[in-house]
């Protein structure tokens, strides 16, 4: 369920379970009305990200899947994230190559290098990933916040992760 700010409907879109703000500059052609008119098939969205090079391309984590829209949110398709992904908590894109998608789920960090067409769960992966951050100046460096295991770090684009204390 999406809720739109009454003060300025185009400024913020919030998720029912967890606040999520998208600046109006990133929304491009996306409108709150489009999101409300075609809800995601699996219900509540836990994460939304907009492709910085194409504002019509969006990814949304919803329940146990990741959905993709290529028309500004008018319609959505399931990307086929593996069923063992558990609950999706965060979705982020590589800022230098938005076809690289990272998903934090309760079963780990999944990686797609082809815009969500296929997914891998790398080895040495943090279990119960809750949040993700990609370093904009060094996109091969990714941080994953976990449910009780601290911060994990990858310096190879998510192929493997080490605990933050191993630096």
SS (H, E, C) 28-94: CCCCHHHHHHCCCCCCCEEEEEECCCCCCCEEEEECCEEEEECCCCCCCEECCCCHHHCCEEEEEEE
What pLDDT does residue 10 have? Answer: 38
Q: What is the mean pLDDT of each run of 10 residues along the chain (167 residues)?
A: 41 36 40 44 78 94 86 89 80 95 91 94 80 95 91 92 68
For the record, the structure tokens of 82 come out as 């593996």
- Res 5: pLDDT: 41
Reported pTM: 0.74
What confidence score (pLDDT) does residue 35 get? 41
Per-residue pLDDT, 2: 42
* pLDDT in the model for residue 112: 95
Distance CA 29, CA 41 (A): 22
Is 73:34 a contact under the CB 8 Å cutoff?
yes
């Amino acid at each position: 369920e999406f809720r739109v700010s009454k003060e300025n409907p185009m400024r913020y879109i919030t998720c029912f379970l967890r606040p999520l703000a998208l600046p109006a500059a990133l929304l491009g052609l996306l409108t709150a009305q489009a999101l409300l008119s075609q809800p995601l098939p699996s219900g509540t969205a836990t994460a939304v990200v907009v492709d910085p090079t194409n504002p019509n391309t969006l990814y949304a984590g919803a329940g146990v899947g990741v959905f993709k829209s290529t028309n500004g949110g008018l319609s959505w398709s399931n990307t086929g994230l593996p069923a063992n992904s558990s609950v999706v908590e965060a979705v982020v894109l590589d800022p230098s190559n938005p076809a690289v998608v990272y998903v934090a789920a309760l079963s780990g960090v999944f990686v797609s290098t082809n815009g969500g067409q296929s997914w891998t769960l790398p080895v040495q992966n943090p279990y119960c990933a809750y949040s993700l951050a990609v370093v904009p100046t060094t996109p091969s460096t990714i941080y994953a916040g976990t449910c009780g295991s601290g911060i994990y770090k990858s310096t190879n684009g998510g192929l493997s992760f080490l605990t933050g204390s191993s630096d």
